[in-house]
Amino acid sequence: MTSIELPDNPLELARLRDEVTRKLASASLAGLSDRELLAASEVNERSNRRGVGVDERLFAEVSQRGAYRLAGSQMPGKYLEGQLRLSARARKRRTDAALSLSSLVAFSGEQLDPTLPATADAVADGDLSLDHVAEIVDVIDAIPAAIPADVKARAEAELAEVARTLTPEQTRTAGKRILAHLDPDGELTDDTDRARTRGVTLAPQDRRLMSAISAKLTPAARAKLEALLVSWAVPGMNNPDDEQSPSGSSANVDPEALSAAAERDSRSQSQRNHDALESMWTFLIANGGLGEGTSLSSQLVVTASLDDLEARTGVATTATGTRLPVKDLVEIAGDATPWLEVFATASAQILYLGRGKRLASRAQRLALFGRDRGCTAPGCTVPWSRTQAHHMPDWQDGGPTDIDHLGGACGSHNRSVDTKPGGWETIILQSGPFTGRVGWRPTGSNEPWKVNHALQPEKILPTFGDRVTESGSAVEKWLSCRMPAPPPGPPVPPGTDVVRYPA
């Protein structure tokens, strides 16, 4: 191989690597022999694995310097999602790897060694992938706090060494054996370990609007849940497919009625657990579980089109970002009184307060939800329930509390707006394809205004939307020839606060 003199500047090296990868992607492989083809594949994989260490070093440096703020991100993780467009799962893995493989700087200025030094060396050699690193991180994190530091370090070194010749799945198996050796009976695990690893994770909704949930419960939390499921998830209880099914706890139900309902119950235990939890949450909401405060963040707020509501079709959006079928929204309204935002022809609410009031009114907050869905900063995914009403210009700079001078912004992005260089400036766009949306750009720059598509990706798919509409019309015609027309939908649920805004 011919020796190549490489530049020393990291940016130039990164650009050179990009050019090499681009060239390799378009190069013909037909001239390679089978052995050369295998060698090229192995060299390329080793390069990719070494790149894992480069990725983590770059991210660690971006994090420690706070350089992510120049990209408009308020947290390092948000930079990975917003600017590099990584998924939430990839962002977590990248963050965990950076903390484990990089040499960080302490508050005292001292350079710290990587927390997983042997793993970092193996990555630098091109022997471990990010999947390997993720498995090793999980194993080391599961070692009980009572294990001495030197024993834990030896376990990491041994696992990293054997992982050089194993797949990520085999590495996980090896890690389990190490854990079993260190704490064979689980006696070293204490309350600190349990508290450190507790958690409940709600995954994003899938295409069917279903959501996966995963959890690690403390023994006390599990005991409470099991005690509730014993009486709420027994056969016959809280069955949504049976109108005569008793609701609530079986302790308060007539035994004969419960026995009859159980005979009609064909659900699995998993389905009964789900229905029991939903019934518990319904009971909690109906009995003040959302709080008695006047803030909208403590209430159920949903936006939907009037046509969809009346036809009991389509999908509505809640202030927390959840999408739910309108028919479910109508059912929810029977247990709670939501704020339902419906776009029609006019508004009876006062949306212009001038300088007379700094805080946005309830009607204004509802209007912002309908337009913005959440934080308006580019790439931010904070839902509306965790945003503030941001003034444009800022209140201290004379900005009025008027609906056409307000926009949703999470706390960190709201604080990032500044008239000085290094901050951000915002405006309601008056022209272009995103007229009426909130635009962001670095203060004093001439960069194009950016809007947030993360919460409303359908706004950038007008052509696709037209195709869906046309296709939908054809499907409706096809169905109308073969199926009876559905009964008219119910009116807006009684007691529901409806705020009407221009479409």
pTM for the full model?
0.57
- As a whole number, the mean pLDDT across the chain is 80
CA distance 456 to 459: 6
Q: Inform me whether the pLDDT recorded for 486 exceeds 50.
A: no
Q: What is the pLDDT of residues 195-225, one digit of tens each?
A: 888 999 888 888 888 889 999 998 888 888 9
Section 379-389 average pLDDT: 84
Q: Which residue has the higher pLDDT, 299 or 269?
A: 269
Section 87-97 average pLDDT: 88
With cut-offs at 50, 70 and 90, classify the pLDDT of residue 361: confident
242-251, 288-297, 455-464, range with greatest mean pLDDT? 242-251
Q: Inform me whether the pLDDT recorded for 491 exceeds 70.
A: no
Section 116-145 average pLDDT: 93
Count CB-CB contacts under 10 A for residue 246: 19
pLDDT at residue number 192: 80
Contact between 159 and 136 under an 8 Å Cβ cutoff? The reply is: yes
Contact between 449 and 441 under an 8 Å Cβ cutoff? The reply is: yes
Count CB-CB contacts under 10 A for residue 325: 15
Q: Inform me whether the pLDDT recorded for 287 exceeds 70.
A: yes
pLDDT at residue number 462: 52
pLDDT at residue number 81: 86
Contact between 320 and 478 under an 8 Å Cβ cutoff? The reply is: no
Q: What is the pLDDT of residues 18-56, one digit of tens each?
A: 999 999 999 999 999 999 999 999 999 999 999 999 999
With cut-offs at 50, 70 and 90, classify the pLDDT of residue 446: confident
CA distance 289 to 280: 11
Beta bridge partners of 193: none
Where does 402-454 have alpha helices with state H? 411-416
Q: What percent of the chain has pLDDT over 70?
A: 77
- In the structure encoding, which two tokens stand for residue 251, read together? 């302790």
CA distance 418 to 394: 9
Contact between 389 and 411 under an 8 Å Cβ cutoff? The reply is: no
Q: What is the pLDDT of residues 159-197, one digit of tens each?
A: 999 999 999 999 999 998 898 888 877 667 777 878 888
With cut-offs at 50, 70 and 90, classify the pLDDT of residue 313: low
With cut-offs at 50, 70 and 90, classify the pLDDT of residue 310: low
Q: What is the pLDDT of residues 391-436, one digit of tens each?
A: 988 888 888 888 888 999 988 888 888 888 778 899 999 888 888 8
Q: Are strands 199-202 and 213-216 parallel, antiparallel or unpaired?
A: antiparallel
pLDDT at residue number 482: 35
Q: How far apart, in Å, are the Cα atoms of 259 and each of 250, 265, 269?
A: 11, 10, 17
pLDDT at residue number 140: 92
With tokens 């998924």, the residue in question is 87
216-220, 238-242, 466-470, range with greatest mean pLDDT? 238-242
Q: Inform me whether the pLDDT recorded for 347 exceeds 60.
A: no
- In the structure encoding, which two tokens stand for residue 38, read together? 């295998």
Q: Are strands 406-410 and 424-428 parallel, antiparallel or unpaired?
A: unpaired
Contact between 355 and 399 under an 8 Å Cβ cutoff? The reply is: no
3-12, 97-106, 112-121, 415-424: lowest mean pLDDT where? 97-106
Contact between 428 and 406 under an 8 Å Cβ cutoff? The reply is: no
